[in-house]
């Protein structure tokens, strides 16, 4: 049997490691032909030995200096420009983009320009450049299969139903670390507390974004582009148990949902096996062990960043990029102890108020505004880049 050739971007992160576990179980069907890490070269090389990965990329300027071009017969590429080049030349079937934050954007574009299938975890790509991504997909016939659990759920529940049969999609949100914390205690929140998610094991950024629920705003924007739905047809709802990963409400009043215990290996496996389903024992759900499933509204006073983020999505153009970059900068300030938790929303709000709209930004403008917004916020607080 011919194995699917997989590219894994961000192999040392939380999604990257879960992807490795999926590929280990499915090694008769999947093989990795390229894996990347930003700075953790040692971990990348260990995985390369375990999975026999022939091509590796290290992107961080500091980390690349010490590394020879070939190790154990493996080819090592350096920096984002070599990564983009190799994505353009290498033979592969599907690429998992599990780079965190705005740094994943150019890789998304390179994969789509090749007409390849993209298993997309990096939601920021769609938030910043959804309009360009759609253009590339139309031009090159490339496909995106979502890895984000909510969007994987929607993708599965939509199946072959045409868009007009969908009344709404409902994206579930766990509520993050502070769902029940009294609002008067929000000023005391520490970085350590914010980095603990009640249901999911994830990378630092997406865990913090879950605590503020900016993550859910990113996911509403992601759904807007992935499923071609206007914002009034996308709702987010609090579902603290994270068992139902999202729901599609059809025009006849019927809801279809996808569920399992929360574990990212399942949406990753789905994306890698699509259009088939591979037999797997990685994630097992025992119905009788599940908690009672509940749903509630998302409170604007607890989660102001959710509402700010969705508003930037509705306005569109360059504003989602501004909101996303301001949020990345605010998280950096929060984790460095420079601002408190409640200030994160204020930083994003201020950046959006200051921003000039640009309706249809090209990639160059998006990356420039992304960098500028991020840098201005950090330098205002005396942090050197």
**Chain residues that interact with ligand NAD, rule: CB under 6 A:** 10-16, 37-38, 40, 59, 98-100, 103, 121-124, 148, 200, 202-206, 264
Q: Tell me the C-alpha distance between 45 and 68, whole Å.
A: 12
* Secondary structure tally for the chain: helices H, strands E: 15, 12
Restricting to residues 149-178, which ones interact with Mg ion according to CB under 5 A? 149-150
99 binds, among Mg ion, ligand NAD, none (CB under 5 to 8 A by kind): ligand NAD
Position among 124, 148, 209, 263 found at the interface with Mg ion (CB under 5 A)? 148
Q: Which of residues 18 and 149 has its CB atom nearest to Mg ion in the complex?
A: 149
Cβ-proximal residue to ligand NAD, closest one: 13
Task: Specify the residue, 56 or 217, whose C-beta has the smaller distance to Mg ion.
Answer: 217
Cβ at position 359, least distance to ligand NAD in Å? 25
Interacting residues of 275 by C-beta distance below 8 A, sequence separation 6+: none
Cβ-proximal residues to 37 (8 Å cutoff; 6+ apart), any chain: 10, 11, 12, 16, 43, 44, 56, 57, 58, 59
Minimum CB distance to Mg ion, residue 219 (Å): 6
Cβ closer to ligand NAD: 49 or 359?
49
**Minimal CB distance residue for Mg ion:** 148
CA-angle at 119, arms to 117 and 125, nearest 5°: 100
Q: Could you tell me the smallest distance in angstroms from the CB atom of residue 275 to ligand NAD?
A: 22
Q: How many CB atoms lie within 10 A of CB 79?
A: 14
Toward ligand NAD, which CB reaches closer, 100 or 312? 100
CB of 67: closest distance to Mg ion in angstroms? Answer: 33
Residue 124 in contact with Mg ion, rule: CB under 5 A:
no
- Cβ 170 vs Cβ 246: under 8 Å: yes
Length of the chain: 385
State the residues that interact with Mg ion by CB under 5 A. 148-150
């Amino acid at each position: 049997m011919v194995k699917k050739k997989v590219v894994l971007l961000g192999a040392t992160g939380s999604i990257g490691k879960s992807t490795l576990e999926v590929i280990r179980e499915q090694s008769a069907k999947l093989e990795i032909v390229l894996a990347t890490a930003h700075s953790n070269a040692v971990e990348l090389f260990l995985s390369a030995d375990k999975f026999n990965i022939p091509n590796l990329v290290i992107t961080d300027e500091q980390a690349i200096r010490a590394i020879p071009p070939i190790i154990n017969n493996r080819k090592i590429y350096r920096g984002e420009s070599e990564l983009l080049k190799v994505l353009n030349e290498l033979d592969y079937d599907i690429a998992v983009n599990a780079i965190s934050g705005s740094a994943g954007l150019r890789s998304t574009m390179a994969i789509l320009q090749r007409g390849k299938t993209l298993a997309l975890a990096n939601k920021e790509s769609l938030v910043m450049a959804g309009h360009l991504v759609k253009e590339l997909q139309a031009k090159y016939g490339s496909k995106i299969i979502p890895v984000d659990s909510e969007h994987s759920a929607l993708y599965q529940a939509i199946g072959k139903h045409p868009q007009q049969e969908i009344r709404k999609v409902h994206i579930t949100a766990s509520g993050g670390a502070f769902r029940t914390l009294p609002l008067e205690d929000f000023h005391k929140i520490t970085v350590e507390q914010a980095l603990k998610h009640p249901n999911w094991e994830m990378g630092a950024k997406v865990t913090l974004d879950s605590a503020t629920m900016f993550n859910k705003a990113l996911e509403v924007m992601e759904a807007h582009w992935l499923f071609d739905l206007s914002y009034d047809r996308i709702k987010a709802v609090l579902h603290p148990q994270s068992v139902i990963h999202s729901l599609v409400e059809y025009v006849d009043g019927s809801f279809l949902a996808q569920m399992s215990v929360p574990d990212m290996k399942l949406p990753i496996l789905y994306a890698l096996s699509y259009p088939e389903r591979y037999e797997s024992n990685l994630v097992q759900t025992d119905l009788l062990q599940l908690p009672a499933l509940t749903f509630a509204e998302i409170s604007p006073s607890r989660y102001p960043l959710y509402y700010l983020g969705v508003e930037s999505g509705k306005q569109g153009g360059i504003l989602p990029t501004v909101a996303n970059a301001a949020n990345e900068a605010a998280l950096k300030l929060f984790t460095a102890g420079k601002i408190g938790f409640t200030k994160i929303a204020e930083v994003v709000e201020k950046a959006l108020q200051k921003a000039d709209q640009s309706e249809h930004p090209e990639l160059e403008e998006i990356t420039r505004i992304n960098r500028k917004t991020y840098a201005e916020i950090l330098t205002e607080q005396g942090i050197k880049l």
